[in-house]
Structure 1
Amino acid sequence: MMRKILQVIIVTVLLVTLPSQAKESLEQSGDVLHLLLPATALASTLIVEDDYQGTWQLVQSGVASRLVVEVLKYSIEKDRPDGSGDDSFPSGHSADTFAAATFINQRYGWQYGVPSFAVASYVAYTRVASDQHHVEDLMAGAAIGILAGWYFTDPYKGISIVPIASSDTYGVYISGRF
């Protein structure tokens, strides 16, 4: 099972690096990864799992995240840094990729979550570097995606590991069925 997830991640990395090198465009590489990370999460649910529980959780996370983003974009008319529109807040790219990364992390563990969060962070970086968003747009989008992923995703193996941080407490919350 874990070998299948690793194979999906390797194929995704290969698919990502080829278009990125061919186009040599920061914004385009972010756009490609914005689509590939959720696609990788979806492929993982279809290849690794015997049922469609993970697929349904991923769809719920993605749809909820995107609905919140679109309502906020419609409600808050914030100009993009390059002046191309007034739908800067929050970043949909960040919300989508962080929802997928959180799904992968919650469902399959940190060994797959860390690379997924790295990809999501790169996508967010490309949005600022290409003058499509301000940093606060990315932070809001990432928070929306992460919250949606946490809310809708159950661990595949029945164990959940969640970092906890507050003003005076740091730790890890571990829960599961034994």
Structure 2
Amino acid sequence: MKKTATFIIAATISTSVFAKSKTETAGDIGQFALPLTALAIAWSKDDNLGMWELTKGFAITQGITHTTKFLIDAERPNGSNFDSFPSGHTAAAFSGAAFLHHRYGLSYGLPAYIASSYVGYSRVYGQKHWSSDVLVGAVLAYTVSYAVTTKFAPNNFSVTPTNFGRSDTQGILFNLSF
């Protein structure tokens, strides 16, 4: 299980680590480092279920992120290509941070959230993403982790396909009851 989880996370994190500034390089590395750090922590605790939940949450987040990039086709601030929305780097980093928070508590999550926020900042700084791209990547990763992580996975959270009462409109409804 440990080798499988490591391989799946390492194989699905896909980006170049060639950047123009130290800030961009730190962001490129951070998107790898945060989920792998979360995996190492789960591994060190011999938490096979946690490793599976991290892997599942990461894969779902990246699947939604890259599908959305393809469907939205938003231009980057620097005009380089049309896959700006949402930020994959930020979603990857926040997958690790949110998992640590939801599985092991805020003492693990807070430092990871700070590092993940820097990854998001690096993407805006490097003109690879708009602030909204970064925010959506972070919220997406947090939400998926919240839904799939056992320790704090709520019974009051649901994801439902919907047409909002119209035949020409489709979407996904996220519902969280307090």
TM-score of the superposed pair, with normalisation by structure 1:
0.72
Give the counterpart letter for 1:35 in structure 2.
F
Aligned pairs for 1:72-91 (under 5 A) are 72-91=68-87
Shift of 1:55: 0.6
Q: How many residues align?
A: 136
1:46-57 aligned within 5 A: 46-49=43-46, 51-57=47-53
State the SS of the aligned residue for 2:86: coil
Q: Which residue of 2 aligns with 1:137?
A: 133
Gap runs ≥5 in structure 1: 1-22, 163-172, 174-178
Question: In the aligned structure 1, how far is the partner of 2:150 from the partner of 2:111?
Answer: 19
Q: Among 149, 162, 165, which residue is 1:153 paired with?
A: 149
Counterpart amino acid of residue 106 in structure 2: W
Helix, strand or coil: the match of 1:88? coil
C-alpha separation in 2, matches of 1:64 and 1:161: 15
Stretches (4+) displaced over 4 A: none
Query: Which digits, 9 at most, give the CA deviation of each residue in 1:50-92, with x for residues without a partner?
Result: x410110000100000000011000011111111110000000
2:30 pairs with 1:33: yes
Contact 2:146 2:153 survives alignment (8 Å): no
Superposition CA RMSD, Å: 1.8
Return the alpha-carbon distance in structure 2 between the equivalents of residues 71 and 161 of structure 1. Answer: 25
Report the structure, 1 or 2, having the larger helix content. Answer: 1
